């Protein structure tokens, strides 16, 4: 079954389109947690950023960068958050890779607050952890 973004891409569901080319679509998020909140996605279906091929990922991120720049220069945003939830455990609700581009006008405004609480690292072996992740990149 098609996910909701595939239906939007195919024109079966309306959306407010910001940008479109052969590979990439950008639409306003229906929720608008701040004014100009945009979703950038590949037209081809990938479940998340994790499974997106690098050529397409590059195209998506280049458009996301341009949209963030426009939010600053045209909408007057003072900053921009980029967010890509990957998987349900990370809060992804639509299983089609997308990047949120969220303009920020005033610190702490709107329906979005990024709060990173540190865990106790005393029981984590950080050098081992770094090696485990790093070895996977070789
Ligand atoms: P996620 O939680 O997967 O990172 O983000 C999904 C986003 O898609 C949410 O911010 C939600 O508001 C948005 N969304 C869900 N359904 C629609 C829709 O039909 N149209 C648009 N434009 N956005 C949608």
**How would DSSP label each residue in 6-58?**
HHHHTTSS---EEEE-SSEEEEE-TT-SSTT-EEEEESS--SSGGGS-HHHHH
pLDDT digits (tens, 9 = 90+) for 16-61: 999 999 999 999 999 999 999 999 999 999 999 999 999 999 999 9
Regarding pTM above 0.85, the answer is yes
Q: Is the CB of 65 under 6 A from ligand 1?
A: no
Architecture of the domain spanning 4-113: 2-Layer Sandwich (3.30)
Q: Is 98 a catalytic residue?
A: yes
Secondary structure letter of residue 119 according to DSSP? P
Atom of ligand 1 nearest to the CA of 31: 12
Q: Domain spans of the chain?
A: 4-113
Q: What is the radius of gyration, based on Cα positions, of the chain?
A: 17
Instruction: Out of 37, 96, 98, 100, pick the active-site residue.
Output: 98
Quick check: CB of 88 below 6 Å from ligand 1? no
User: Which numbered atom of ligand 1 lies nearest the CA of 28?
Assistant: 22
Quote the CA–CA distance of 125 and 112 in Å, as a whole number: 32
Question: For 99-118, how does the pLDDT look when each residue is reduced to its tens digit (9 = 90+)?
Answer: 999 999 988 776 777 788 99
């Amino acid at each position: 079954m098609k996910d909701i973004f595939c239906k939007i891409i195919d024109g079966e569901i309306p959306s407010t389109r910001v940008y479109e080319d052969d590979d990439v679509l950008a639409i306003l998020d229906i929720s608008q947690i701040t004014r100009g909140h945009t979703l950038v996605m590949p037209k081809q279906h990938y479940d998340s950023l994790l499974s997106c091929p690098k050529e397409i990922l590059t195209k998506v991120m280049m458009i996301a960068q341009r949209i963030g720049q426009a939010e600053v220069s045209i909408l007057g945003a003072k900053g921009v958050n980029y967010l890509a939830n990957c998987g349900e455990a990370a809060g992804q609700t639509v299983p089609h890779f997308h990047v949120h581009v969220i303009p920020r006008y005033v610190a702490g405004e709107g329906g979005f607050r990024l709060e990173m609480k540190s865990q106790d690292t005393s029981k984590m072996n950080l050098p081992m952890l770094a090696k485990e992740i790093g070895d996977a990149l070789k």
